[in-house]
Amino acid sequence: MSENREYITQKKRILDEGYLNGFDVFRAMEAGINNILPYQDKLDEINVFPVPDGDTGTNMCFTLIPVVEECAEKVTENAEQVYNIMADTALESARGNSGTIIAQYFHGMRKAARGKNNIYIIDFAKILEGGYNSAIASLLNPKEGTIITVMRDVSTKAIELSANAELDFQQFLNGCYNEAEDSLQRTKTILKILKKTNVVDAGALGFVLIIQGILNSLEKNHQIQSKHLNISYDQNKIDALKKDVDFTITNKYCTECAIEGSVINRNELKETIRNLGDSIVFAGTKSRVKVHIHTNEPGKFFQICNAYGKVVDEKVDDMTKQERTIHHLDGGGIAIVVDSGADIPEEYSNEIQVVPVRYSFGREQHIDGVTQTSSEFYRQMSYDSNHPKTSQPTPGDFKKTYNFISSHYDSIISMHLSKEVSGTFQSALNASKNIKSIKTTVIDSWNASVGLGLLAIYAVDLKQNGKSYQQIISMVEKKKQQTHVFLILDDLSYIVKGGRAPAKIKTIANILRLRPVLGIKNGKLKPRGVLYGKSQMVDKFGVYINKKMSYKKKYRLMIAHANAKSQSEKLLKILLSTDQNIIDHFNLELGCALGAHAGPGALAVGFQEID
């Protein structure tokens, strides 16, 4: 399709006058984002780092799509304002590890563009440098051979090229792109797991596609085709790796979403959701409608909205929890925060703030513990051909929670899934750096599921017993070493599909009639033992757990089941009858964060030494 005259004139002006205004900046970024979208599945396919869970493309695209779809009408001629708009949107929509890094990159570009009405080549180079600096600063342990490496190499090359006054924007961007392509190919030689599979880093490829799209937007007569990128790979190698309150709240959830479609029938939608709740509000246009509702059935609400168009920007807040937070009566003013990767007993749920993990079955989006119950989640796992993909809470999710808490508490202790198994801790840490109004400490729990739950309720007990903020932090850090988690799976297929174990483990286990026991050690989920034979697994698991507990110590016990309540009750009975040192115990459902990999029928056991 030929370019319109206005666009040709715009590109000629950029090349002749040597700068980008706000409209030019947005159009270039829009081209970059549109260049990555067709490759979402490809990026998912080659995603092998940090774990081969196949969601890099999904997370990057879900982070970037709102930048195109929500910013266009807000763009002005002022470049600084455009960078601000794009950064705010990216941070709000960030998903997953790769999405969070990209969002932080936008934030760095925004800072480097301050005070700039127009962007000259030297300014653009500094903006790329600012993006890199911000992205790498957001990571505790950046890995070479990933998206960060390519961001740095492009930044360095951009600064070098900007010193040449003879270059126009097209030549400058072409030099940046060539460096990006070379750097991308080098990722296969740097990171061990990429060497093994002979594939480029998925996140790095996504970033290069964005740079390529930006350059394409300024090319005079042709576009650089993505096929020029050497992104060939051996699918067998990748597959082998994946195998190898003061009033009554009737409707408790404050729920929002945006619906995008060609023509949305508002009146029909209003009648359809009328009986789902109250405080219903519609806003927007015929093609993009924002809907607000107070309801007890947010999952059903989202399903109905999905029938009228594409549902984006889902948000659910438990208003009863918010109300209890506002009127909390506990001493010390210390808020305990976890992510929903923690399994929390019902009797402690009012004392702990939870930032939910999100997950999806294909295009069907869910918010952990809100839009589906655990039972519904496991039922869907058993029949849905789409394996659920989890996405860590974004820094924006944590910032929103922290800001709300800051109005009602004096300090926050926020403890999260081990950074060895999730980027959730990093998201929380990044958010905490931007919260100045309240003292916040973020703790890597070295745990998950019932282990994280045990640490959280231990912190609540300490708070209620009058321990100070620093005492609680110190005692929780010590208790991490005394908290143990073990897991047995009913079907190994799910952990293989989730990329947490190679398929050969399942094959060997089935042939030899073995059942591996998984456990968390030093923050990592690892094989910790083996049970022989497939019969009486619960009895054998009970014997295994008993051997892990010392008769000289007293324990608090927590069991979580994946839609296997009778099995968990049997296990609890076995443990209580054979171990007299269990002082306190809980039996609850296993949440989706670990359950997405464990699958239906799994049993998790956590025990914690009592001082």
Structure tokens at 215: 């350059």
The ranges assigned to domains in the chain are 5-242, 246-326, 483-610
What's the CA gap between 37 and 33, in Å, rounded? 7
How many residues appear in the chain? 611
- pLDDT of 602 reads 92
What angle, rounded to 10 degrees, do the helices at 147-162 and 121-137 form? 150
- pTM metric for this prediction: 0.62
Judge: domain 5-242, CATH 1.25.40.340.
yes
Residue 130 near residue 108 (C-beta atoms within 8 A)? yes
**Nearest to 472, CA basis, from 462, 464, 482, 480:** 462
Any idea which residue has 């033992």 for tokens?
529
- pLDDT of 546 reads 92
Count the Cβ atoms, other than its own, within 10 Å of residue 347. 9
Residue 411 near residue 334 (C-beta atoms within 8 A)? yes
**Which run of H or E residues covers position 21?**
none
What Å distances lie between residue 569 and 37, 165, 508, CA to CA? Answer: 47, 74, 29
What's the CA gap between 599 and 488, in Å, rounded? 10
What's the CA gap between 214 and 461, in Å, rounded? 54
Read off φ and ψ for residue 137, nearest 5 degrees.
-65, -20
**Which run of H or E residues covers position 289?**
strand 288-295
**Beta-bridge partners for 560:** 588, 604
Q: Is 89 buried (19+), middle (13-18) or exposed (0-12) by CB count in 10 A?
A: buried
* Sites in the chain below the pLDDT cut of 70: 1-12, 15-16, 50-55, 96-97, 138-141, 219-249, 281, 283-286, 322-332, 407, 498-502, 507-509
What's the CA gap between 88 and 106, in Å, rounded? 8
- For the beta sheet containing 411-416, the strands, ordered from the edge strand earlier in sequence to the opposite edge, are 352-355, 334-339, 411-416, 439-444
* Helices and strands: H and E segment counts in the chain: 25, 19
The topology under which CATH files domain 483-610 is: Hypothetical Protein Tm841; Chain: A;domain 3 (3.30.1180)
DSSP for 222-277? ----GGGS-----HHHHHHHHH---S--SS-EEEEEEEE-SS--HHHHHHHHGGGE
DSSP, collapsed to helix, strand or coil, labels residue 328 as coil
What Å distances lie between residue 463 and 78, 299, 412, 439, 466, CA to CA? Answer: 50, 34, 12, 16, 5
DSSP, collapsed to helix, strand or coil, labels residue 540 as helix
- pLDDT of 478 reads 96
Residue 279 near residue 296 (C-beta atoms within 8 A)? no
- pLDDT of 523 reads 86
Amino acid sitting at position 109? M
Residue 411 near residue 469 (C-beta atoms within 8 A)? yes
- pLDDT of 560 reads 96
**Which run of H or E residues covers position 352?**
strand 352-355
Residue 448 near residue 525 (C-beta atoms within 8 A)? yes
CATH code of the domain occupying 246-326 = 3.30.70
